[in-house]
């Protein structure tokens, strides 16, 4: 079946996650949180981050590949150019199967975007959902799927206020299966 994995996402109050190929908000505390969760691995292993091709393209060139993590980009384009060291895979299943064979892999994270999240949350290997809930509505064209019925909350963080003034909290949920 391939190995289990976690999902990490930041959403607004309507589960919005993106607009015109970018994140709709500036939330530096969430970027830090994302790095802490996805880059912290049991030494000497590393975590894997799996992303859709559009999310890869949304990352500023100077930020990709994401350091200290094995980057996997999903695309149906077998010739899609990627820098050395970044894996190109043609399905989530293939990426999970590959991760299972790597002895130096600690945890696996699916990091978006909308199309990949929709598939990942229905996958039997989905384990934990790391959610940043932003207490505001933004203009979005990409959304995270409904997750309340599929997951249960295991940690509901307290409400925090960003330097940008946005209110948000870090929530952890797990697959109900």
Ligand X SMILES: NC(=O)c1ccc[n+]([C@@H]2O[C@H](COP(=O)([O-])OP(=O)(O)OC[C@H]3O[C@@H](n4cnc5c(N)ncnc54)[C@H](OP(=O)(O)O)[C@@H]3O)[C@@H](O)[C@H]2O)c1
* Given 2, 52, 65, 125, the residue binding ligand X (CB under 6 A): 52
Per-residue mark of binding to ligand X, 111-150 (x: CB under 6 A): xxxxxx--x----------------------x--------
Question: How many residues sit close enough to ligand X to count as binding (CB under 6 A)?
Answer: 27
Residues 110, 62, 130, CA angle at the centre, nearest 5°? 25
* Given 4, 75, 102, 172, the residue binding ligand X (CB under 6 A): 75
Q: Which is nearer to ligand X, 45 or 136 (CB)?
A: 136
Q: Which stretch binds ligand X (CB under 6 A): 20-28, 39-47, 60-68, 98-106?
A: 20-28
DSSP state of 152: E
Q: Which two tokens stand for residue 96?
A: 């999970």
DSSP-assigned beta bridge partners for residue 57: none
Per-residue mark of binding to ligand X, 76-95 (x: CB under 6 A): xx------------xxx---
Transcribe 20-84 into DSSP letters.
TTB-SS--HHHHHHHHHHHH--STT-EEEEEEEHHHHHHS-GGG-SPTTEEEEEE-S-TT----T
The CA distance from 106 to 39, in Å, is 10
Binding residues for ligand X, per CB under 6 A? 9-10, 17-18, 21-23, 52-55, 58, 74-77, 90-92, 111-116, 119, 142
């Amino acid at each position: 079946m391939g190995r289990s994995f976690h999902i990490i996402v930041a959403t607004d109050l309507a589960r919005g996650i993106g607009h015109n190929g970018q994140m709709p908000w500036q939330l530096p505390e969430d970027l830090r949180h994302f790095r802490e969760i996805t880059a912290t691995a049991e030494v000497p292993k590393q975590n894997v981050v799996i992303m859709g091709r559009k999310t890869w393209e949304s990352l500023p060139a100077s930020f990709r590949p994401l350091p200290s993590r094995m980057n996997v980009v999903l695309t149906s384009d077998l010739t899609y150019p990627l820098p050395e060291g970044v894996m190109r895979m043609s399905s989530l299943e293939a990426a999970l199967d590959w991760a299972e064979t790597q002895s130096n892999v600690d945890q696996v994270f699916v990091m978006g975007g909308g199309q990949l999240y929709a598939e990942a949350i229905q996958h039997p290997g989905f384990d934990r959902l790391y959610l940043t809930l932003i207490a505001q509505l933004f203009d979005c064209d990409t959304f995270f799927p409904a997750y309340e019925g599929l997951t249960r909350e295991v940690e509901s963080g307290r409400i925090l206020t960003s330097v940008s003034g946005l209110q948000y909290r870090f929530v952890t949920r797990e697959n109900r299966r």
